Structure 1
Amino acid sequence: MPVTNRCQRCANPLVPSFPRRRESRLSPRSDGDENTCEVCLSYPPSYDTTIFAVDYTPPLDHLVLQLKFSARLPLAPWFAERLRDAILARPGLPLPDLLCPVPLGPARLVERGYNQALEIARPLSRLLGVALQPALALRQLDTRAQSGVTPHERAENIRGAFAIADPDLIEGRHVGLVDDVMTSGHTLEELAATCKRFGAARVSNLVFARTPPRA
């Protein structure tokens, strides 16, 4: 199980720090600044929270790779069950109004034959009783895989990659972005920013695995 002392926004581990000066704080949050890391306080992401089921570490990272690259689709409902448990373990956190899987680009979807995020989102939708919008987000650019570029290139690589097919579906609503793994967070940040630009009131990342930060 992942450690619980995590930032409510990005799900990176919180580190002990000296008390923050009041004048350095941004707008107050309902959960309290003590649950938000210094990075998210200084540079608030477009998404409002991140919920994940497991750390992306052995042996579970191998299961993610098997779903993603080896078409082990029966793993997806198991991932969804673990993610459902993690979501319901956060009392007081509102469920999304709809689920939106992170889309693949057209070329990668043809190559792979399926979208692993959608395969997780389908059973998760049934488990939570939350509507699934499988084609809400569109990947309008076939970007390079984030794993194939350096950490410093990832934000630029994914910039402008997404569009929203029907903005009316998200205006004023809480959108849950579903993905298999969150590493740097740039892909989810770009999609969350796109959702907010089209009027989403709140965006939550719902990911099976979270990559621990490098030491």
Structure 2
Amino acid sequence: MPVRAFFDLCLELFYPSRCHLCGEIAEVNSVICDACEDKIERIGDNRCDICGKRFEAQDIGSRLCGDCILHKPAFDCVRAFARYKEPMSEMVQRLKYKREFQFLDWMTNALLHVYQREYSGENFALIIPVPLHWRRLLWRGYNQALILAKPLSKKLGIRLAPDILVRTRHTSHQVGLSPAKRKENIKASFRVKNRNLVEGKKILLVDDIVTTGVTVDEAAKTLKKSGADRVCVLALART
């Protein structure tokens, strides 16, 4: 047995991997244990074909939700890995607000899984992370959407374009606002810096969480006004 392998075996024996959520013993080099992973409510085919919202009923006789039937959004589709419920919500919040990046590889693999299942037939020219306003970026120190988009871009071989779409207004936090207030809050808050780079292109927007969908809808609307052919969204979680 190689020395390094023997050392790793001893290390795992005396200091086994621990789940970063519950603290129980996890598989070697795993950040979460099987029990916590089993609690994550993945989103399968039982969801709206446009906005990706999970249907509560198993058989509703339609592939579109009421909101998308009444008001078709600017984006073409949203796909997410899981419901925004524990323990998925805790992982997202710890990445977003506590600078905890230990879940990043796991999250990248989760996004890849959704991409391969839902978007493998697409030919996206650009991956664009949903941007933060510079004031919020300065306060937080990083854009979690960009942190998720970087390894995804590298693994998929799709160009990452984090500077094309910019946030022009410092908006209030969306948490706690009604859908109508969220829509008003985010209205006209994006701008495309270079129209030539998006014109006629298929674009994949990446974000950590989609709640009501108004943020990614406004972003998609802005991109399409600048000539984007198709805008799809990939997120870790969906409410």
Matches within 5 A, 1:138-177: 138-177=166-205
Following superposition, the deviation at residue 99 of structure 1 comes to: 0.4
* In structure 2, C-alpha distance between the alignment counterparts of 1:87 and 1:40, rounded to whole Å: 22
SS of 2:220's equivalent?
A: helix
For residue 48 of structure 2, what is the aligned residue in structure 1?
A: 7
For residue 87 of structure 1, what is the aligned residue in structure 2?
A: 115
Check if 1:104 corresponds to 2:132: yes
SS of 1:108's equivalent?
A: helix
Going from structure 1 to structure 2, the CA distance change for 1:187 and 1:40 (only over 3 Å counts) comes to same
* In structure 1, C-alpha distance between the alignment counterparts of 2:85 and 2:156, rounded to whole Å: 26
Check if 1:47 corresponds to 2:111: no
Give the alignment's Cα RMSD to 1 decimal.
Answer: 1.6
Check if 1:63 corresponds to 2:104: no
The 4+ residue runs of structure 1 with deviation greater than 2 A are 1-4, 13-18, 34-39, 73-78, 90-93, 148-152
Check if 1:187 corresponds to 2:228: no
* In structure 2, C-alpha distance between the alignment counterparts of 1:119 and 1:168, rounded to whole Å: 25
Tell which deviates more after alignment, 95-104 or 115-124.
95-104
Structure 2, unaligned stretches of length 5 or more? Answer: 1-41
Following superposition, the deviation at residue 77 of structure 1 comes to: 3.2
Aligned residue pair count: 196
- In the superposition, the TM-score normalised over structure 1's length comes to 0.86
2:43–2:54 CA contact under 8 A, matched in 1: no
Going from structure 1 to structure 2, the CA distance change for 1:72 and 1:91 (only over 3 Å counts) comes to closer
* In structure 1, C-alpha distance between the alignment counterparts of 2:50 and 2:159, rounded to whole Å: 23
2:49–2:64 CA contact under 8 A, matched in 1: yes
- Answer 1 or 2: higher relative contact order, Cα 8 Å, separation at least 6: 1
SS of 1:44's equivalent?
A: coil
SS of 2:132's equivalent?
A: coil
Structure 1, unaligned stretches of length 5 or more? Answer: 19-33
Following superposition, the deviation at residue 12 of structure 1 comes to: 1.1
